[in-house]
Amino acid sequence: MHPEKIALTQTVQKGGCAAKVAAAELRRILQQVSFPVAHPALMVDGRYFDDAAIYKISETTALVQTLDFFTPIVDTPKLFGAIAAANAISDVYAMGGRPATAMGILAFPLTMLPEHVIVDVLQGASDKIAEAGANFVGGHSIDDDTLKFGLSVTGFVHPQQVWTNTGARAGDHLILTKPLGTGTMTAGVKRQQLGEEDIIEALDSMMAINNVIDYIPPGLLASVHAATDITGFGFSGHAMQLANASNATFHIETGSLPRFNNVFHCLENGFLTRAHRTNAEYTTPHIDDSKLDTWHKLLIHDPQTSGGLLLSVAPDASQALIQALCSQFRSAALVGTVQPRQDKVVYFA
């Protein structure tokens, strides 16, 4: 037992993927930067807001590179480390790859938090990296005013089996693998209106790695045409980016979106983050959510941390894929379809 119990969420202003720079602000910043001319081996860069970069090494191997870090989203250090690791590793899975190595990114207030806190954060991350079959190979740390942790992850994928944001096809079915609602539920913890024991289902979901490849039969892998993971920009933002990159329109059955049991209770109690507003501002010109009530609108904009994968799959394989995925992802559900490009990028029914 550690003698000091510290609520990590009370040491920072905002936590998890809700702490991301607002998508509209990020786009404005990036538009002002001149990037190097891409090397011919660079298959995927940040142009379409994909989850990771892909660099072709040979005809059979491509490198997957990503990084992700954030401030504490939960109070328990070991849980924070595990969630941060699962969230970062997810980007490799979202590209159809497998993680190989992970390096830690750590900012730690040496004079404010005891040593056991960071030991537990690193142990939680190390355990999750091992679960993913990857190697924890080092990293970099600085003394900072607030705790921040994440990973730079490298993986591999066959160049012809990469999942990107540009691959969704008209007629495809859309599958979401995890429930929505981590943003509002962890906001309740941040406000000290909920304890971690009240959001166990969300904690379990955030700690679950998005290794869908091991649960999809090899013969069905080619049926997955595109993928992204749902994180800080909410379901609305990431679905919009995927549809836009594919020059398609998504029709979403909002009632089919899986959600945690207490999500609407949390939203009704006003457990919101800045990202609920900025995600709505980012997506509103490009989506149609006019048929939704207040709570479903907030749900689609809810910033997820270590959320599920949104898969665009061949329609004749969708039921078999859901059945295969449900052995590990119990909430996996068919949530919509891909249509030819229309006036709006995403329609919510």
Positive/negative CA dihedral, 304, 89, 36, 244: negative
> Catalytic pick from 6, 12, 17, 332?
17
Question: Which string of DSSP letters, residue by residue, matches 179-242?
Answer: -B-HHHHHHHHHTTSS-GGGGHHHHHHHHS----GGGS-GGGGGGEEEEEE--TTHHHHHHHHH
266 is catalytic: no
Q: Nearest to residue 2, comparing CAs of 113, 86, 99?
A: 113
Per the CB < 8 A criterion, the answer to whether 11 and 147 are in contact is yes
Distance CA 201, CA 197 (A): 9
Distance CA 338, CA 204 (A): 30
Q: What is the H or E stretch that residue 53 is in?
A: strand 53-56
Sheet containing 148-157, strands listed edge to edge, beginning at the edge strand earlier in sequence? 42-44, 53-56, 62-70, 148-157, 98-108, 135-143
Pairing verdict, β 287-288 and 346-348:
parallel
Per the CB < 8 A criterion, the answer to whether 325 and 208 are in contact is no
Q: Nearest to residue 51, comparing CAs of 85, 95, 20, 18?
A: 95
Q: Which pair of structure tokens corresponds to residue 4?
A: 């000091």
Q: Nearest to residue 2, comparing CAs of 69, 76, 105, 93?
A: 76
Residue with structure tokens 């012809």? 160
Q: Which pair of structure tokens corresponds to residue 110?
A: 């040496």
Distance CA 233, CA 311 (A): 17
Catalytic residues: 17
